[in-house]
A and B are shown apart, each in its own frame.
Chain A
Amino acid sequence: MSYADQLTEKDLIQMYRWLVLIRAFEDRVCELWAKAGIMELPHGSQGQEAIAVGACYGLRREDQVLPSLRTRGAFFVKGIPTRVQMAGMFNKRTGAAEGRTSSHHMGDAGRGVLVGSGIIGASITVGVGAALAFRLQRKDHLVVNFFGDGAAQRGDFHEGLNFAGVFKLPVIFVLENNGFAEMTPVSKHFAGPDFACRAEGYGFPGIRLDGNDVLAVYDAVQTAAARARAGEGPTLLECVTYRQRGHCENNPIATCREMSEVEAWRARDPIARMRNDLLQRGIITGEHVATVDAEVGAEIEDAIAFAEESLPPAVDDLCKDVYAAESSELVVGRRS
């Protein structure tokens, strides 16, 4: 029996709810950006949500995730409150790092989210290092390292995957192949047959799968997780999906592509797909669907109200936390 087959109806409904919440959050912040101009520029993951949900659902709290610039869903499934994320979009003190950094690359040590980087692909090696720590500490936790097809062309992809392969580290590389590196389509930045086959060169399995099928992603990640926890090393999962919006809200969606292509992929939307599947299997009803939509909508409006009422970042704290507190027996003379 596959891992996905072992999910209960409750699990499936929860996964569906995550998908709806992530989509609603991102659609709403795109609206806010267009209308009022919130501080953080949205880099939407619309169309790709099944990867974050399938990969993060069922992880342990101690397992670490390192989201890409477009893995918004990982923050949700790992438990970062909607309010905190929204406050980050609004650049408020109640957001990430008291408003001193964007919500985009935020971390949360208690929930197992590692601080990311605005340098695409750079955090691949950092995730590998977290997996190295688990190995040295003899813990059976793992790291899920998300990045896109663009990041896979960085040198850090090679250094990080080779390093992880050499030491058989407990890390799952989740490559979100959404068809574009910013505005450039994969066909123009990649001459290979697929990304998954690269794993062979690093001595571990690489699998290409449908990234719009949340249960397929879940199954592949759980299989890779069992391997990682057993000390057998990393796995590369190339999750094929499609970015339904522009690179960010500054870029028109249709740049470098035909709208017919976008429409074709919208017809394969991961959320509608799961909804139809659950409806067909009788796990949810139309009433359920409406209830989830209403609950999610209320959660987001609450988060917006929270963000609007929150204080802006404190200018006096601009230089706070540049260094961690340390004993004067070790370091003296820090200055702002």
Chain B
Amino acid sequence: MREITCRDAIREALREEMRRDDSVFLMGEDIAEYGGIFKVTDGLLAEFGPDRIFDTPLSESAIVGAAVGAALMGMRPVAEVMFADFTGVAMDAIVNHAAKVNYMSGGETSAPLVVRMAYGAGPRWGCHHTQSVESWLANVPGLTIVMPATPYDAKGLLKAAIRTPNPVIFLEHKLLYGKKGDVPEAEYVVPIGKADVKRPGDAVTIVATGLMVDRALGAARSLAADGISAEVIDLRSIQPLDEDTILASVEKTGRLVIVHEAPVRGGFGGEVAAVVATKALGYLDAPIQRVGAPWSPVPFGQILVDAYVPSEADIVRAVRATR
């Protein structure tokens, strides 16, 4: 099968949806002429012209607010806020408008928009361009939160995100943009809300999101060499959360490790742990382990970022703690 990067897969999804539906348009800072700071939207201006993809002022609140207004009028905006950290500036439009208009209108008008953003730590970005913001938004009814880990999923999930009538937060890990993977040329959509077992196993369940899926798979390979068979579940979306896939796996393995890049405390792993503790405590043979960042802002530089972001070794240690 054809191998392409996450960046190219996301661009393909955007291109295909723009060709399929005239109401889909893209707006954000430096996405049109420059092609996006991560080059995700490169080349789309040439194909679709300035009515379908355009640069906006540096105004994240207006970008998302205007996306909501346009969505209410029948458009399908895909807004980019560049770095996920800028969500803070656009928070009101996301939380108090996009997430609530369907409810406030009694189901009359929803806001079918996608807000794309790059998240995740890297050595050179500092504490305002690196955060994993999914938990900030996970407690808001009305939102859908997607976190792909592979090119295949990124493309299929983004197509579903654009087509659903509900607002979707689409989190793209910046270290995954260059990652390659199999992506078929034929049309497909990946339904949001279905977790994917990326590696089957029967001794321990590792639940992960985004970049941590690859780290969990790396940990699983190390553990296999020691005869420990780990099942790796990629949640793909945290809202909705695929409880069934998690519970079925824990029933089989009896052990659970949850990994995300956001800080452990208050992170979404707590919700996953609570679901399992509430619905499947009897299956557990050991306490649940959570792996995530320490309680600090994302630091600057390679040395500290390496210490901050969960590693394969951290995941292996957590698995051993369930033995």
Contact of B57 among A96, A115, A162 (CB under 8 A): A162
Closest to B168 in A: A331
Residues of A within 8 A of B126 (CB): none
Known contacts A126-B69, A329-B191; 14 further A-B pairs (Cβ under 8 A): A106-B104, A122-B96, A124-B65, A128-B62, A128-B69, A130-B73, A133-B75, A136-B25, A136-B75, A159-B65, A319-B141, A325-B107, A332-B192, A333-B243
Cα of A321 to Cα of B165 in the assembled complex, Å: 12
Contact of A100 among B25, B103, B141 (CB under 8 A): B103
- Interface flag for B74 (CB, 8 Å): yes
Taking A119-B92, A136-B25 as contacts, is the C-beta distance between A333 and B194 under 8 angstroms? yes
How many whole Å from B164's CB to the nearest CB in chain A? 5
Enumerate 22 A-B pairs (CB-CB under 8 Å) in ascending A order: A97-B105, A107-B108, A122-B65, A122-B92, A122-B93, A125-B64, A125-B65, A126-B93, A129-B66, A130-B72, A131-B69, A136-B25, A137-B73, A137-B75, A159-B65, A166-B56, A324-B112, A329-B160, A329-B191, A332-B242, A333-B193, A333-B243
How many whole Å from A147's CB to the nearest CB in chain B? 13
How many whole Å from B125's CB to the nearest CB in chain A? 25
Taking A107-B109, A132-B69, A155-B61 as contacts, is the C-beta distance between A115 and B75 under 8 angstroms? no
Residues of B within 8 A of A134 (CB): 73
Closest to B146 in A: A331
- Does A100 lie within 8 Å of B106, measured CB to CB? yes
Interface residues on B, range: 35 or more
Cα of A332 to Cα of B196 in the assembled complex, Å: 13
Q: Which of A131-151 contact B (CB under 8 A)?
A: 131-134, 136-137, 143
- Interface flag for B110 (CB, 8 Å): yes
- Interface flag for B68 (CB, 8 Å): yes
- Does B106 lie within 8 Å of A97, measured CB to CB? yes
- Does A333 lie within 8 Å of B241, measured CB to CB? yes
Residues of B within 8 A of A (CB): 25, 51, 56-57, 59, 61-62, 64-75, 77, 92-93, 96-97, 100-110, 112, 141-142, 144, 160, 163-166, 189, 191-194, 240-244
- Does A332 lie within 8 Å of B191, measured CB to CB? yes
Interface residues on A, range: 35 or more
Taking A107-B109, A321-B103, A324-B107 as contacts, is the C-beta distance between A331 and B69 under 8 angstroms? no
Residues of A within 8 A of B244 (CB): 333
- Does A133 lie within 8 Å of B191, measured CB to CB? no
Contact of B74 among A137, A155, A320 (CB under 8 A): A137
- Does A320 lie within 8 Å of B107, measured CB to CB? yes
How many whole Å from B320's CB to the nearest CB in chain A? 32
- Does B103 lie within 8 Å of A127, measured CB to CB? no
Residue of A98, A108, A137, A320 with highest tally of chain B CB at under 10 A: A137
- Does A331 lie within 8 Å of B192, measured CB to CB? yes
How many whole Å from A128's CB to the nearest CB in chain B? 5
